[in-house]
Amino acid sequence: MTTEIETTARDIVPPGEGEERHVEWEGEQHVYEPHRVGIPPLGPYVRELWRRREFAFELSRTTLRAQHFETAFGQLWLVLNPLLLAFVYFLLVDILRHGHRPHGFFAHLVGGIFVYYFFSGAVRESVKSVTGGGRLVLNTAFPRILLPLSTVITAFKRFVPTFFIYIPIHLISGLPVTLADLWVIPIVLTIAMTAAGVSMFVAALQVYFRDVKSFLPYVLRIWMYASPILYYANEIPNHWNWLLKANPIGSPLAAWSEVLQKGHAPPPVDMLVGLAWGAGLLVTGALFFMSRERDFAVRL
Amino acid sequence: MISLSVSETASPATPHAPGADTTIRVEDVSVTYRTSLERKPTFKSTLLRLGRRERVVREVEALKNVSLEVHQGSVLGIVGANGAGKSTLVRTMAGILPPSVGRVEVHGRVSTLLALGVGFNRDLSGRENVILGGLAAGLSREQLHAKYDEIVEFAELEDFMDMPMRTYSSGMYGRLGFSVAVNMDPDILLIDEALSVGDAKFRKKSFEKMRELCAQARTIVLVSHALGSIEQLCDTAIWMHKGELRMQSDPESIVHAYTKFLDVGEDAFTMEDL
């Protein structure tokens, strides 16, 4: 990618001449050199990323506009899908539980599905983000990582209205409303980090294996069943407990339910495990993506 | 990064003597990349191929030890047969394909017009494609809004900007691409095979626009099979052959040598030259 060195002409010409050339070159200089171990210099990369952040937001806005997100019915449509899914699962789980459902179970289920939908939506959309970027990737030098990041922004914007649907369900279920509910913000943030990491990983992988897109729905479905959404985290049998920790979004989802159901702060261990997964996946996903990025222009 | 506002207020358009400064310096650059022979590589086919030792990845040496300098305000023409590495060279200058060996230095803001044109999503409208392309290229929203009308007017597409680009004809595609590239106030314009854009009237207009950019001391790199355009527009030219820089000289000599090499005689201009 762009190895852009932020410098004024002053740095590259002898002093005295600087003033004149500064205007001439408009202070912009790019140096492109081979990437060490495939990873472009991180400092300039991140600066470029930040400078072009508007692109990710605009791309997200454009995507949503194409889905009529700005109209009331468009939003309703987006909420309808996870909501219907929640009804289906509620029916299924209630039968399996012989009708013995704990207090507030429906709220747990709906809340879990909504937040999982944020995660899976980001990953599902991002898989096509680079391969679908076609000509832009071929013709323009920009940090390609903006493409999967934009889908995370899109997924988040679609998550926000579902949260407002959750609120009345929460209240009708008679669940507590406390200050501790604010914990949902860092929880959603850790899930967003994980989503971004996984998104970048699958977006890059899709360039090499175009059938990743076809496998992904199965992976995401199994991932959902392995997460404490259709059940409570404390119902997991002891010998399956490792699964909760091994699942990057397992602990945050457990914490999510704990906060909303009981109205108190989540166990620190859940938050820490979730944060470790989120940060770890974000960094490895980004590094993997960046190390493959040079290839994209010749592989598409 | 210093924004373009510098140029807008301070007007950098004072022309300097051509050859005074190096705008693009390519030092001993080689580009190799691995490309898949499959059109759509899949995990499934990789699995099924396991144990068969079939090679589906090919290493391409697109550029070999190329060095050159382009001076400010000059127009460099690149000629060569298909697969000679012309497009790779231009993409390396644009920073799309970093070199495997060597170093490329570019002074100034680059605008590209590569063979495939603008518009990355055919389902989006022309307007959305222009805005997204501009933002990706590093322009700010304000700069884009300031330039937008100019772009549309130059492309003569006032009535089509809100229609999805899949409804565009190929000429309209090309016109919009050219208009975006030249109207973004680039210091350096990289053009790959795009002069055949549109009808004769638009071609004339695009020639004039490029001359105008030259007069403002902008640098242009032009890849074309239309040897006549190379002779008309360029100050210097290079001839690429199989990834190597074969010759660097004035356009007439290059065109002469290249046509001789092609063994088809001087008057064998391509149809685009009509």
- State the CATH number of the domain containing residue B211: 3.40.50.300
Q: Rounded mean pLDDT of A116-129?
A: 95
Helix A105-126 crosses helix A250-262 at what angle (to 10 degrees)? 150
Q: Rounded mean pLDDT of A277-295?
A: 93
Residue B97 domain flag: yes
Binning pLDDT at 50, 70 and 90, where does residue A191 land? very high
pLDDT higher than threshold 90 for residue A24? no
Q: Rounded mean pLDDT of A269-273?
A: 94
Number of domains in chain B: 1
Q: How far apart are CA A248 and CA B267, in angstroms?
A: 68
Q: What is the three-class DSSP state of B110?
A: strand
Lowest mean pLDDT, pick from A72-86, B115-129, B178-192: B115-129
Residue B159 domain flag: yes
pLDDT tens by residue, B45-95: 888 777 776 667 788 888 999 999 999 888 999 998 888 888 899 989 988
Q: Rounded mean pLDDT of A102-124?
A: 94
CA angle A200–A158–A153, rounded 5-degree value: 35
pLDDT of residue B178: 84
Q: Which of A40, A210, A295 sits opposite B33 (nearest CB)?
A: A295
Quote the tokens at residue A264: 């108190």
Q: How far apart are CA B88 and CA B95, in angstroms?
A: 10
**Predicted ipTM of the assembly:** 0.80
pLDDT higher than threshold 50 for residue A2? no
Report the chain A residue with the minimal C-alpha distance to residue B139.
A52
Number of domains in chain A: 1
- Higher pLDDT pick, B195 / A136: A136
Q: Does B167 touch chain A (CB under 8 A)?
A: no
Q: Rounded mean pLDDT of A74-93?
A: 88
Residue B15 domain flag: no
Query: In which domain, by residue range, is A119 found?
Result: 52-299
Residue A244 domain flag: yes
Chain B, 72-91: which have a CB under 8 Å from a chain A CB?
A: 72, 91
Q: Does B174 touch chain A (CB under 8 A)?
A: no
Edge-to-edge order in the sheet of strand B57-71: A4-6, A28-32, B101-107, B22-36, B57-71
Residue A219 domain flag: yes
Chain B residues closer than 8 Å to A6 by CB: 1
Q: What is the three-class DSSP state of B164?
A: strand
Query: In which domain, by residue range, is B137 found?
Result: 20-39+56-273
pLDDT of residue B87: 87
pLDDT of residue B115: 61
Residue A274 domain flag: yes
pLDDT higher than threshold 70 for residue A78? yes
Residue B101 domain flag: yes
